[in-house]
Structure 1
């Protein structure tokens, strides 16, 4: 089954989220401290990913142009509306973070990174799911921690994970045939670095230091692909 790795990844996120929901009853003071700890860890992960860049200018330009595009189409608001629509379809719940916050946070953390791309390509080309299985286990533990404070919205991030990794898996033959390996590696490093900054921004939001509309940075990933191709060509 060519999508085994992606499906496994999705299941670990959903199961991890459900397990994390059993931890939501912890005292508010402890939950606040846990949230700060998660925020700090997310910032550290994001910064570590950013250091993978070999052309930091590409990262900066991608973030800036991505932010302009995101603000222009108001992507953050659209995602929040989607979260509110999903929230309206669910049973009434206690006060806490909205569906959108968990959805956006989970989506960026689980989709951005080299393991998602490399693992999906391995699944498509060699039917080797080891990388995605390992990623799924890591994502499962991460979703337990995230959902204990951010709620059930984390589970819905499994949908874009399946679409993203599944698409790469199906397109892997095309990618390997027409995209040189060094160009692919160049893109992965710069995409990971750009996504790392977004993840660091999420961490700052979780701590409460900022209120950045992180989803509006997402178009920057597409900008990375364009800039990397231009730089590689010249």
Structure 2
């Protein structure tokens, strides 16, 4: 059933956030770092599995035995140039910052409106209460924005959802659900209930790409899907390097490669 993978993903985020809220401050920073490194290693494994599609018999039959690797290379080069010129990485960071600032500015107004001015000790109490409310709101926003960006940014959200829509199974989203579930435990323990709220954007974002996969299902041949998956595998390797704190690969700038891969495959197959 198309969409099942995204529903599992959303459930994993909610469950992980609930566990993280229960753990509270009991989860030390060292443990969070270990979990993040574990996520990076699993993502690296998933990247290798996806990149192995470059050896797909369907892709080789369509473009020849020597072209698949060149198609992936060309997709990354063309997509990377396009993404860097469009400054996708910077725009994504700007979007997250703008969302964080906008929600943070809006929330204190509501919190402040609830506290009527009062003389003496009552005024001081109201001020203290408002400050505490503002701090809780900022913590909620920080958790919501940070976790939403982590769960949505990355080829797996796109590739997994499209693969689900294409009818190729939910394996990628099942693995993403495990990654997001563990990540939400650490995030919620550190940043609170806002992490649980990030399940909403995940549902809408991945649901949209699942619908896109359903629509494309009758148009993209298996060879094109294999090229897209192999290219996405290398982008996942970039995500893994970031999680492992080995390097800061501008993965968002490379995302257009996912669009270029099927186009290059069709072009090479036509000759």
TM-score by length of 1: 0.77
Q: CA RMSD in A?
A: 2.8
Within 2, Cα distance between the matches of 1:207 and 1:135?
A: 20
Aligned residue number for residue 131 of structure 1: 169
Displacement, 1:99? 4.5
2:213 is matched with which residue: 137, 162, 168? 168
1:1-234 superposed matches below 5 A: 5-6=2-3, 8-21=4-17, 22-23=19-20, 25=24, 26-54=27-55, 55-88=68-101, 89=103, 91-93=137-139, 98-99=146-147, 101-105=149-153, 107-113=154-160, 116-122=161-167, 131-132=169-170, 137-149=174-186, 152=195, 155=199, 156-169=201-214, 171-172=215-216, 176=218, 179=219, 184-234=221-271
* 8 A Cα contact 1:83 1:103, kept in partner: no
* 8 A Cα contact 1:146 1:154, kept in partner: no
Structure 2 CA distance for partners of 1:196 and 1:99, relative to 1, 3 Å: same
Q: State the aligned residue count.
A: 211
Within 1, Cα distance between the matches of 2:264 and 2:79?
A: 12
* 8 A Cα contact 1:102 1:147, kept in partner: no
Structure 2 CA distance for partners of 1:189 and 1:203, relative to 1, 3 Å: same
* 8 A Cα contact 1:121 1:168, kept in partner: yes
Displacement, 1:5? 2.6
Within 2, Cα distance between the matches of 1:79 and 1:118?
A: 24
Whose radius of gyration is greater, 1 or 2?
Answer: 2
Aligned residue number for residue 125 of structure 1: none
Within 1, Cα distance between the matches of 2:158 and 2:98?
A: 23
* 8 A Cα contact 1:102 1:150, kept in partner: no
Any gaps of 5 or more consecutive residues in structure 1?
123-129
Structure 2 CA distance for partners of 1:51 and 1:138, relative to 1, 3 Å: closer
Aligned residue number for residue 122 of structure 2: none
Within 2, Cα distance between the matches of 1:109 and 1:150?
A: 19
* 8 A Cα contact 2:72 2:230, kept in partner: yes
Aligned residue number for residue 119 of structure 2: none
Within 2, Cα distance between the matches of 1:118 and 1:34?
A: 27
Displacement, 1:118? 4.9
Within 1, Cα distance between the matches of 2:28 and 2:38?
A: 15
Displacement, 1:83? 2.2
